[in-house]
């Protein structure tokens, strides 16, 4: 039995972002020996980010060529995909928003990395989804800062929620991100159609 | 892909202006219009479905 299978019993698809060829090759071989399906390794974050919707977990080096993997980490947080940092960077060099993300120094045995990712997958599944209703007061408040009267503000909120539904947009599943995400969507809707809702 | 990277926005600190805190509390006590609640329920259902997929 595969210790690191996903919920359907298929091999865990693990994105690897690492620009050191030797480390990347070694890690890839180790993960494959554990029956994981390796996506990558990628030494370019722009290539790697294209695979985010199609993986179960990720191992990220922090410094990738001249860039950092933080944009990928943000997307993974939004999609609640478990990941870890595999890096020589100190914890203090990693932005505070990733404070809950484990950092493993190099080299670390692949099995330890996989065990950690598997545990993260378990805990993510047990978290309740974000509460949309809890984000509404802040959203209505933001709308009132933009619109001349309360009814118009609520029309803007409605249009924002409707856009999220019609556009089949992927909502962040974490509460702390959902509110910010809605506000950004509200501002975009205001710029696009706000004038129509004024009266 | 470049555009995704540009628009990925890190969560900042809660940037609610202090002078709006009382307004927010007042809105929390208000009744939410039914139309908004209905749309919110639809989105909530989608979140739950995404979690169980």
Q: Do A173 and B28 touch (CB under 8 A)?
A: no
Q: Do B42 and A177 touch (CB under 8 A)?
A: no
The answer to whether A169 and A160 are in contact (CB under 8 A) is: no
Domain housing A82: 13-126
The string of pLDDT tens digits covering residues A146-197 is 999 999 999 999 999 999 999 877 777 777 678 888 999 999 999 999 888 8
Please give the model's pTM, rounded to 2 decimal places: 0.57
> Are A142 and A81 contained in the same domain?
no
CATH number of the CATH domain containing A50: 3.40.50.2300
Decide if A121 is inside a domain: yes
> Are A96 and A136 contained in the same domain?
no
Decide if A5 is inside a domain: no
Whole-number Å distance between alpha carbons of A135 and A66: 37
Tokens of B20: 């709006």
Whole-number Å distance between alpha carbons of A3 and A31: 12
Top-ranked range on mean pLDDT: pick from A35-39, A75-79, A123-127: A35-39
> Are A114 and A77 contained in the same domain?
yes
Give the domain-ending residue among A126, A148, A169. A126
Share of chain A above pLDDT 90, in %: 51
> Are A35 and A113 contained in the same domain?
yes
**Chain A residues with CB inside 8 Å of B24's CB?**
137-138, 141
> Are A18 and A103 contained in the same domain?
yes
φ and ψ of A19, to 5 deg: -100, 0
> Are A182 and A93 contained in the same domain?
no
The string of pLDDT tens digits covering residues B1-53 is 444 443 434 334 456 777 888 899 999 999 999 999 999 999 998 887 776 65
The answer to whether A78 and A70 are in contact (CB under 8 A) is: no
Whole-number Å distance between alpha carbons of B44 and A50: 27
Closest Cβ–Cβ partner in A129, A144, A165 for B39: A165
A8 to chain B: nearest residue by CA?
B53
Q: Do B32 and A125 touch (CB under 8 A)?
A: no
Beta sheet of A37-42, edge-to-edge order: A37-42, A13-17, A57-60, A83-86, A103-104
Decide if A118 is inside a domain: yes
The continuous run of DSSP H or E covering A180 comes out as helix A175-193
> Are A152 and A189 contained in the same domain?
yes
The answer to whether A32 and A58 are in contact (CB under 8 A) is: no
> Are A33 and A116 contained in the same domain?
yes
> Are A119 and A150 contained in the same domain?
no
> Are A103 and A41 contained in the same domain?
yes
ipTM of the complex, rounded to two decimals: 0.74
> Are A61 and A146 contained in the same domain?
no
Q: What is the pLDDT of residue B52?
A: 61
Q: How far is B48 from chain A (nearest CA, A)?
A: 6
The answer to whether A190 and A146 are in contact (CB under 8 A) is: yes
For residue A5, give the DSSP letter. Answer: B
pLDDT tier, A7 (very low <50, low <70, confident <90, very high otherwise): low
Give the domain-ending residue among A126, A141, A156. A126
Say how many domains are in chain A: 2
Give the domain-ending residue among A80, A109, A126. A126
Q: Do B37 and A133 touch (CB under 8 A)?
A: yes
**Chain B residues with CB inside 8 Å of A171's CB?**
43, 46-47, 50
Decide if A141 is inside a domain: yes
Nearest CA-CA partner of A184 in B6, B47, B37, B49: B6
The string of pLDDT tens digits covering residues A48-68 is 988 887 888 999 999 988 899
């Amino acid at each position: 039995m595969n210790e690191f299978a996903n919920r359907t019993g298929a091999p865990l698809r693990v994105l690897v972002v690492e620009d050191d060829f030797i480390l990347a090759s070694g890690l890839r071989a180790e993960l494959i020996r554990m029956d994981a399906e390796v996506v990558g390794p990628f030494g370019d974050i722009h290539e790697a980010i294209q695979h985010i919707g199609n993986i179960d977990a990720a191992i990220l080096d922090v410094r990738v060529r001249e860039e950092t993997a933080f944009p990928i980490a943000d997307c993974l947080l939004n999609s609640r995909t478990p990941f870890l940092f595999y890096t020589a960077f100190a914890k203090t060099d990693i932005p505070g928003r990733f404070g809950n993300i484990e950092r493993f120094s190099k080299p670390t045995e692949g099995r330890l990395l996989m065990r950690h990712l598997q545990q993260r997958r378990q805990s993510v599944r047990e978290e309740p989804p974000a509460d949309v209703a809890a984000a509404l007061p802040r959203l209505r408040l933001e709308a009132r800062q933009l619109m001349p009267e309360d009814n118009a503000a609520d029309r803007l909120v409605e249009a924002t929620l409707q856009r999220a539904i019609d556009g089949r947009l992927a909502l962040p599943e974490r509460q702390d991100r959902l509110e910010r995400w809605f506000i950004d969507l509200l501002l975009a809707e205001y710029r696009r159609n706000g004038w129509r809702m004024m009266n | 892909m470049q555009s995704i990277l540009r628009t990925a926005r890190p969560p900042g600190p809660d940037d609610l202006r202090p002078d709006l805190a009382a307004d927010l509390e007042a809105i929390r006590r208000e009744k939410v219009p039914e139309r908004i609640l209905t749309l919110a329920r639809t989105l909530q259902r989608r979140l739950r479905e995404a979690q169980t997929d």
